[in-house]
Chain A
């Protein structure tokens, strides 16, 4: 038997329940997060158009750079304003 020291962060992952999927987007605030990759805006522009036609109140958000996680203030802004979020990943 060998006793080893744990090299990991010994983190216990907390599971969180997802918000229920809405029946309809009509009247809901939908956030579109642009991660600042080239041409991500083309995709999101089209989504905004389609979602607005469906009656959603669309709000646009943008990360300063695609290489870093969204700043905490931006995440807070999205969480407090939106009921649904769509994030455009590139590549």
Chain B
């Protein structure tokens, strides 16, 4: 739909419902009687203003295309182009814009305007679809009148096993208001089919996942973070191991969008946590073509492959954030993606001193995947507040905590070689005299999250690490 051209002279947009618009009717009449052409558009009542002939902006096209946010708005037009505008009733501004200094002296000097119908929350989505829908290039799929659209989306294979929100033009355009990026921008190449994914396709899948527009930048950053050779989402998807992308969110934006970093942090009940991770996984499925039983060959998988996304509790943490420890400037929004299995609990309710608590973490971490396998897998420690307090009271910083845990995980090869302790799995026999660390340098990530009560923490085990597998990736989140 082309943008309507405004007539030269003065253009005034009003609605009857607005008290300020009714207040300025005598001024509009004065202007109409002058030499400059005046065109009045009325948004609601075609007979308003009563004494002035007005054009009914019934479909709000004029208001929409001219970004009218407040009524009354006065626009000065020369040769078809806007050269000035004012809104509400500000006498001095009306005088300056119209070149008339005799207007409205019997009115107060200032009255604020009212919201334009074209930005009415009840109407704006439909208007955006009507006038802005052409920016969307995705194929339109029509469901039959008698067809249940939720069932139709299951039938088409678009869901992760749970119902999804129907991605209508209105919803997708509203989702796109969450980013400044153009719908046609290519964000990444998505494995396994290696397909370009645009901001528009991400927005469609974000709608389906149940995201709000303000989550969209986090979803875009998530897609960027996993779709590269470093994170290797192809391998994370295809592996028989039970891993998926775990998304750890940092920065003030996590609080602005209401993410959970506290009680039940990995659990149900928080829309942002659950839908951001879900959107990323839906994009791998729908755009990348990565589906269970096809390229996804997981032996067991894990429930987090639907969504595993949470925020770090930065305000309650005694330490710098995960993102800062990975090079992001303080106060910036960022995500870190990690190829992780489901979380397991670390219980130590007797912990009062940091050495003892480190012994517990080391003993639990040693069992990761197999107590006799070393160096091949990374892990995230998600430290609960009652555990972190023990370290904080002893004055241990993030590096000290990790160094002490690493120091306790230097393991004798004789315990790790194949066959030792009656277990066939293990490292090759020639390593029997070596001392081997459970984790490679940097292979332990530390995040602070969880509820305030409970001397518990969590471990999220990783997948084949390094260049042969996947590396954690941290990305700033930008709008």
Chain A residues with Cβ below 8 Å from B192 are 69
- Is the pair A3, B142 in contact by a Cβ cutoff of 8 Å? yes
- Is the pair B138, A5 in contact by a Cβ cutoff of 8 Å? yes
- Is the pair A67, B464 in contact by a Cβ cutoff of 8 Å? yes
Known: A4-B168, A5-B139, A5-B167. A67 touches B286 (CB 8 A): no
Cβ-defined partner of B235 (8 Å) among A3, A11, A67? A67
Q: Is residue B257 contacting chain A, with contact meaning CB distance below 8 A? A: no
Q: Is residue A73 contacting chain B, with contact meaning CB distance below 8 A? A: no
- Is the pair A9, B193 in contact by a Cβ cutoff of 8 Å? yes
- Is the pair B168, A5 in contact by a Cβ cutoff of 8 Å? yes
Those of A34-87 within 8 Å (CB) of chain B:
36, 64-69
Interface segment out of the listed B47-55, B201-209, B258-266: B201-209
Q: Is residue B33 contacting chain A, with contact meaning CB distance below 8 A? A: no
Cβ-defined partner of B470 (8 Å) among A36, A67, A69? A67
Interface segment out of the listed B1-9, B143-151, B322-330, B444-452: B143-151
Q: Is residue A2 contacting chain B, with contact meaning CB distance below 8 A? A: yes
Known: A67-B239, A68-B234. A4 touches B469 (CB 8 A): no
Chain B residues with Cβ below 8 Å from A91 are 240, 297
Chain B residues with Cβ below 8 Å from A3 are 140-143, 168-169
Chain B residues with Cβ below 8 Å from A4 are 140-143, 149, 152-153, 166-168
Q: Is residue A8 contacting chain B, with contact meaning CB distance below 8 A? A: yes
B156 to chain A: closest residue by CB: A8
A27 to chain B, nearest CB (A): 36
Chain B residues with Cβ below 8 Å from A69 are 192, 234
Those of B155-172 within 8 Å (CB) of chain A:
158, 166-169, 172
Q: How large is the interface on A (under 10, 10 to 19, 20 to 34, 35 or more residues)?
A: 10 to 19
Grouping DSSP codes into helix (H, G, I), strand (E, B) and loop, the B interface class, with mixed when no group exceeds half, is: mixed
A1–B297 CA distance with the chains assembled, in angstroms: 37
B98 to chain A, nearest CB (A): 45
B318 to chain A, nearest CB (A): 36
A9–B285 CA distance with the chains assembled, in angstroms: 10
A5–B199 CA distance with the chains assembled, in angstroms: 13
A6 to chain B: closest residue by CB: B139
Known: A9-B286, A65-B468, A67-B235. A1 touches B142 (CB 8 A): yes
Q: Is residue A10 contacting chain B, with contact meaning CB distance below 8 A? A: yes
Chain B residues with Cβ below 8 Å from A64 are 468
Chain A residues with Cβ below 8 Å from B197 are 9
Cβ-defined partner of B289 (8 Å) among A2, A9, A36, A66? A9
Q: Is residue A7 contacting chain B, with contact meaning CB distance below 8 A? A: yes
A68–B463 CA distance with the chains assembled, in angstroms: 13
Known: A65-B469, A67-B468, A67-B470. A7 touches B286 (CB 8 A): yes
B466 to chain A: closest residue by CB: A65
- Is the pair A7, B467 in contact by a Cβ cutoff of 8 Å? no
Q: Is residue B282 contacting chain A, with contact meaning CB distance below 8 A? A: yes
B376 to chain A, nearest CB (A): 11
B143 to chain A: closest residue by CB: A2
A67–B286 CA distance with the chains assembled, in angstroms: 21
B373 to chain A, nearest CB (A): 12
A7–B288 CA distance with the chains assembled, in angstroms: 11
Chain B residues with Cβ below 8 Å from A36 are 468
Chain B residues with Cβ below 8 Å from A9 are 190, 193, 195, 197, 201, 286-289
B138 to chain A: closest residue by CB: A5
B234 to chain A, nearest CB (A): 6
List 21 contacting pairs A-B, 8 Å CB cutoff, sorted by A: A1-B144, A3-B141, A4-B141, A4-B152, A4-B168, A5-B136, A5-B167, A6-B139, A8-B286, A8-B287, A8-B289, A9-B197, A9-B287, A9-B289, A11-B289, A65-B468, A67-B234, A67-B468, A68-B235, A69-B192, A69-B234
**Beyond A3-B168, A9-B287, A10-B138, 20 additional pairs, beta carbon < 8 A:** A2-B142, A2-B149, A2-B166, A3-B143, A4-B140, A4-B142, A4-B167, A5-B141, A5-B169, A5-B172, A7-B158, A7-B205, A9-B286, A11-B193, A11-B289, A65-B469, A67-B464, A67-B468, A68-B229, A69-B234
Closest 6 A/B residue pairs (Cβ): A67-B235, A6-B139, A9-B195, A65-B468, A5-B138, A7-B286
